[in-house]
Structure 1
Amino acid sequence: MKLKFVKKLALGLAIIYAPMQSMAWGTNGHRISGQIAENHLTPKALAAVRAILGHESIAMASNWADFIKSDPAYNYLYSWHFVDFERPMSYPEMTEYLNHDTNPNAYNKLEFLVSELKKKTTTKENKLLYLRLLIHITEDIHQPMHTAHSGDKGGNDFKVNWFTKPTNLHSIWDTELINFQDLSYTEYVKAIDYPTAAQIKDWQAAPISKWVFESSNLAEQLYKEITPGETLNYKYNFTHIDILNQQLLKGGIRLAGLLNKIFG
């Protein structure tokens, strides 16, 4: 009995701890983009999404792919969360690379998920799995460090301090900057969900390869601004909050665009 209790306790702790160790926007970041996406769905797309997710909102579904990391059966999804590069690339170079890289990554798996969700033959069970993954991966691509250097695990090995807390560049963009705003995800959405019609049209017209390129370029910029071991604090927040908010907003608007094309 004692052994069973210990196993259950370990599993529970793993489920709670997994999001903090995951390579993704933090919990709030995903929910922010997810709620923005839901705000911009067509009525037809919203009805289709609700038919698949049931009572689960897009905001709440957006973290499923991180929470499930505590289940070894889903280990195969690990590389679906990011796409890394060994060096900076021009857009033609990156497009060529993305179109020929057969290793599972955020780009080719997102293309796969879009294709599968469009099929009328996709089972109800798979639709739920694929929709949850599509939501999450679309948002992940807009976290710059998900398209960064393979050599330092997308900034995870780039050590810095957030005020007095030792951390890394990946975590700064996953959670620290977002949590520093001290807003719930619904409050955050109310603060930033004001895209112009031109922005919506431009962002949604861009192909997925362009999302990756934009995010990767941003990652390169972030690397150049600081050195390992540096302490980041109020100034870093002040100079990067607009970039952070735009990436969260872009992720939500582009997710809405994908879902509208698939279901709307």
Structure 2
Amino acid sequence: MKITLVKKIILGIAIMYLPVQAMAWGTNGHRISGQIADSYLNAKARAAIKAILGTESIAMTSNWADFIKSDPQYKYLSSWHYVDFDKEYSYPEMQAFLKQDTATDAYTKLNFLIGELKKKNLTKSNKLLALRMLIHIVEDIHQPMHTAHTADKGGNDIKVTWFNNQTNLHSIWDSQLIDFQQLSYTEYVGWINHTTAAQRTEWQKAPISQWLFESSQIANKIYADNKDGDKMNVYNYNFKYISTLNNQLLKGGVRLAGVLNQLFGA
């Protein structure tokens, strides 16, 4: 009886731990981009999204896709969060690759979800699932290590030391660099959410392939600076990359707003 109880406890801890290890942007990162997106919704889109989400904000629902990974029923969603590449692509090469992409990944599923949400006869439950996943995936692909290399699982296999703690390159970009700022997600949004109409127009008109290319280019720079076993100079790393990270959080939110306005506010 005691052994069975211990096994159950260990299993429960493992289930809770798995989603944290697999998250993109981490809890605060997703909420930051979600809150930014909310600030740029038009009135019609805001009303339509509220009808689907109810009292749950975009910022809060943006983490649902990570939290639900602990439920075996939703295991099939795991590969929807990223697009890994086996080499560094030029933009024309990436466009060609994506044109032939039939894998279950963030690119194919984001296009699928956009198509689903355009349907007039989508059930309420399927609409809620599709909206939650779309919000999350748009944010995910602006985290550079979600468009990184297949061989090292998007940096998960690159082990580094951060403030004398063992971690990995993916985790640093998911959460640790964001958490280093010691801001709540609303404080963070107040810090970085300053865009012009021209910026928003430029970012929103770019196709999804361009979003992925931009993220993958950043990932390639990150790889060039970090090797397995590195002990990170945290303050220098923050100085070098915080503007890049903030720009990706901001772009993710602005582009998410653009997609939602097109789907629900046109």
TM-score range, shorter chain: over 0.9
Provide Cα deviations, 1:232-262, integer angstroms capped at 9, x if missing partner. 2110011111001000000000000000000
Deviation at 1:142, TM superposition (A): 0.2
Which one-letter code corresponds to 1:98 in the other structure?
A: L
Aligned to 1:199: 199
Q: Distance in 2 between matches of 1:11 and 1:190?
A: 39
Provide Cα deviations, 1:124-171, integer angstroms capped at 9, x if missing partner. 110000000000000000000000000000000011111211111100
Aligned to 2:122: 122
Q: Distance in 1 between matches of 2:219 and 2:229?
A: 18
Which one-letter code corresponds to 2:123 in the other structure?
A: T
Asked if the contact 1:15/1:67 (under 8 Å) is kept, the reply is no
Which one-letter code corresponds to 2:73 in the other structure?
A: A
Aligned to 2:155: 155
Asked if the contact 2:36/2:253 (under 8 Å) is kept, the reply is yes
Q: Distance in 2 between matches of 1:61 and 1:94?
A: 30
Provide Cα deviations, 1:23-77, integer angstroms capped at 9, x if missing partner. 4110000000001001110010011111000111001100000000001111111
Aligned to 1:186: 186
Asked if the contact 1:14/1:70 (under 8 Å) is kept, the reply is no
Evaluate the alpha carbon distance shift between residue 226 and residue 51 of structure 1 in structure 2; reply closer, same or farther with a 3 A threshold. Answer: same
> Quick check: 1:263 aligned with 2:264?
yes
Q: Distance in 2 between matches of 1:16 and 1:137?
A: 21
Aligned to 1:55: 55
Aligned to 1:241: 242
Q: Distance in 1 between matches of 2:31 and 2:2?
A: 37
Asked if the contact 2:118/2:263 (under 8 Å) is kept, the reply is yes
Tell me the TM-score normalized by structure 1: 0.95
Which one-letter code corresponds to 1:125 in the other structure?
A: S
Evaluate the alpha carbon distance shift between residue 40 and residue 177 of structure 1 in structure 2; reply closer, same or farther with a 3 A threshold. Answer: same
SS of residue paired to 1:231: coil
The count of aligned residue pairs is 264
Aligned to 2:17: 17
Asked if the contact 1:110/1:134 (under 8 Å) is kept, the reply is yes
SS of residue paired to 2:251: helix
SS of residue paired to 1:120: coil
Aligned to 2:66: 66
Asked if the contact 1:23/1:146 (under 8 Å) is kept, the reply is no
Asked if the contact 2:19/2:70 (under 8 Å) is kept, the reply is no
Q: Distance in 1 between matches of 2:178 and 2:243?
A: 11
Larger mean CA deviation between 137-146 and 217-226 belongs to 217-226
Aligned to 1:253: 254
Evaluate the alpha carbon distance shift between residue 257 and residue 15 of structure 1 in structure 2; reply closer, same or farther with a 3 A threshold. Answer: farther
Deviation at 1:5, TM superposition (A): 7.3
SS of residue paired to 2:252: helix
SS of residue paired to 2:167: strand
* Structure 2: gaps spanning 5 or more residues: none
RMSD of aligned residue pairs (Cα, Å): 1.8
Evaluate the alpha carbon distance shift between residue 208 and residue 41 of structure 1 in structure 2; reply closer, same or farther with a 3 A threshold. Answer: same
Provide Cα deviations, 1:158-198, integer angstroms capped at 9, x if missing partner. 11111211111100100110000001111111111111211
Asked if the contact 1:11/1:70 (under 8 Å) is kept, the reply is no
Larger mean CA deviation between 239-248 and 228-237 belongs to 228-237
SS of residue paired to 1:160: strand
Larger mean CA deviation between 134-143 and 99-108 belongs to 99-108
Aligned to 1:26: 26
Asked if the contact 2:18/2:70 (under 8 Å) is kept, the reply is yes
Q: Distance in 2 between matches of 1:223 and 1:181?
A: 23
Aligned to 1:99: 99
Deviation at 1:94, TM superposition (A): 0.7
Q: Percent identity?
A: 65
SS of residue paired to 1:85: coil
Q: Distance in 2 between matches of 1:241 and 1:102?
A: 34
